[in-house]
Structure 1
Amino acid sequence: MMQVTPVPAFTDNYIWLIGNTDNSGVAIVDPGDAAPVLDALQRMAKQPVAILITHHHRAHVGGIDKLLQAYPGLPVYGPANEAIPHLNQPLMEGAEVHLESLGLRFQVMELPGHTAGHIVYYGEGSLFCGDTLFANGCGRVFDGTLHDLYASLQRIAQLPADTQVYCTHEYTVDNIGFAKWVEPDNPALDARLEESWALLDEGHPTVPFELGREFETNPFLRTHIPEVIAKAEEIAGRETHTPADVFAVLRIWKDTEYD
């Protein structure tokens, strides 16, 4: 059975250790900092078998060098279309990552937007999505495009509703704040906020989260909802013509007024 452990890093990052209950091996997802990973491996008596990278940002790749110094020869999986340090297993759409020693398989999806070559890993009822989708939010656009990010989120939305989503930042409460700007009368947001604070107060992360819940609270997946459309048109001062247009208005608004 798959077992996933969060390793907190920096101020709000999560580095994920993917293992199972049958052996001590783990795959490391997006190690931006080696120190907390090395501490966790030693404390948990785990042995890394692979590094999985979603995109090139330093907060996701910065620990690769030191991890390879400590564990030479680890395979480093990542997007073929981005410059990833020590990448030796380049991946493109439709590739499969078979972590044989863990008995786990993941399908690779190319989901650009946050970055131009961003990939995600989907399998075992779980999605390791880097900075594409967050609880109640989504990533900024850097070297991708708004159109690409919208299309990528729509692909994620087609996955089973019970998919467990492992994003890489603790942004949930902040994202709910923006979502309430968009839909101040959405009662699901109040319930989600209360639940999130309860988890954080007890020292637990708010992620992973179930994909299906996002359709109730994430404005970037609710761009077809009349209230969300109305708010986007109010902010833009014009009519919007497609859900993708609504998405672009909301993402730019968040970038310029909220963050």
Structure 2
Amino acid sequence: MPLEIVTLPCRTDNYAFLLHNNETGETALVDAPEAAPLEAALKARGWGLDYILITHHHDDHIIAVATLRDQYGSTVIGAAADAHRLPPLDQEVADGDVLKILGEDMHVLDVSGHTIGHIAFHFPASNAAFTADSLMALGCGRLFEGTPEQAWTSLCALASLPEATIVYSGHEYTQANAKFALTIEADNPALIKRVADIDEARAQGRPTVPSSLALERATNPFLRAAEPSVKAALDMTDQEPLAVFTEIRRRKDNF
């Protein structure tokens, strides 16, 4: 049975995710933006909290780690490369590591770019990837620390996951990202439909996260830097995908 995954809004626009194995009773949390809604969700379901998985060091992803660890005795897992600025880790991981948690294999991917040492967690058996601020719904995180080359390499690694993968990203930025995406591919039918679906979801107060990797490949401009239509729209037909991605990121930063 695939894991039960609960999407939890936190703070102003963050998301955290609870993962639960109904057979073993184990539960994990991806990122800890705020204690109260997470505690309430666990209490409502009668779940403990066996693991806390940290994607990167920004406060809006780690601020509640200590509170939750103290309350539930959770094992905290995060990147060895980021350990010096994360809450104390019980287990340090790196790109390519595979851990058995919640009864499944969890694959660790280095997705540096937004920050150095940012990691993602992929659960192939449940078709789930937790990407936080690397690959986002219709976007990617601003490059606060990494280079465009690092970010593009990270996005290519995520884009190579199976098409059925569901992407659980860290923020409700999708509507703003959609407005920008239309400046790159205004005639993309899949994007036009997605924008309408996003507007409807937000009007009804529904989250736009998670999203499917197939949909991201079809509509997310940051994953589409190698597409001839995107290159042509930017008058960069003869440019390499990295240069196209860099220009898209520059435009988004100034949008």
Q: Is TM > 0.5 for Structure 1 vs Structure 2? A: yes
Q: Alpha-carbon deviation of 1:231?
A: 3.3
User: For structure 2, which runs of at least 5 residues remain unmatched after alignment?
Assistant: none
- Deviation string 1:63-104 (CA, Å, 9 cap, x unpaired) is 1111122123x21000101121021210011112221xx312
2:186/2:192 contact within 8 Å kept: no
Q: Which residue number corresponds to residue 219 of structure 2? A: 217
Q: Aligned partners of 1:135, 1:8: CA distance in 2, in Å?
A: 15
Q: Which residue number corresponds to residue 35 of structure 1? A: 36
Q: Alpha-carbon deviation of 1:22?
A: 2.8
Deviation larger for 62-71 or 220-229: 220-229
Q: Alpha-carbon deviation of 1:155?
A: 0.9
Aligned with residue 179 of structure 1, among 178, 181, 184: 181
Q: Aligned partners of 2:146, 2:196: CA distance in 1, in Å?
A: 34
Q: Which residue number corresponds to residue 244 of structure 2? A: 246
2:136/2:169 contact within 8 Å kept: yes
- State the AA in 2 paired with 1:255: D
Aligned with residue 156 of structure 1, among 124, 143, 158: 158
User: For structure 1, which runs of at least 5 residues remain unmatched after alignment?
Assistant: none
Q: Alpha-carbon deviation of 1:126?
A: 1.0
- State the AA in 2 paired with 1:87: L
Q: Alpha-carbon deviation of 1:183?
A: 1.2
Aligned with residue 84 of structure 1, among 83, 86, 92: 86
- State the AA in 2 paired with 1:127: A
Q: Aligned partners of 2:65, 2:234: CA distance in 1, in Å?
A: 41
Deviation larger for 36-45 or 16-25: 16-25
Task: Flag as ranges the 4+ runs of structure 1 deviating above 6 A.
Answer: none
Q: Which residue number corresponds to residue 110 of structure 1? A: 110
Instruction: Say yes or no: does 1:68 pair with 2:69.
Output: yes
- Deviation string 1:155-208 (CA, Å, 9 cap, x unpaired) is 111111111111111122111110001111222222101212333334332121
- Deviation string 1:186-243 (CA, Å, 9 cap, x unpaired) is 222221012123333343321211101122211111112233213334xxxx776211
Q: Aligned partners of 1:37, 1:110: CA distance in 2, in Å?
A: 26
- State the AA in 2 paired with 1:44: R
Q: Aligned partners of 2:180, 2:40: CA distance in 1, in Å?
A: 35
Q: Aligned partners of 1:241, 1:170: CA distance in 2, in Å?
A: 32
Identity over aligned pairs, percent: 39
Secondary structure of the residue aligned to 1:197 is helix
Alignment of 1:17-56 (within 5 A): 17-56=18-57
Q: Aligned partners of 1:185, 1:94: CA distance in 2, in Å?
A: 38
How much is the aligned-residue C-alpha RMSD, in angstroms? 1.6
1:12/1:170 contact within 8 Å kept: yes
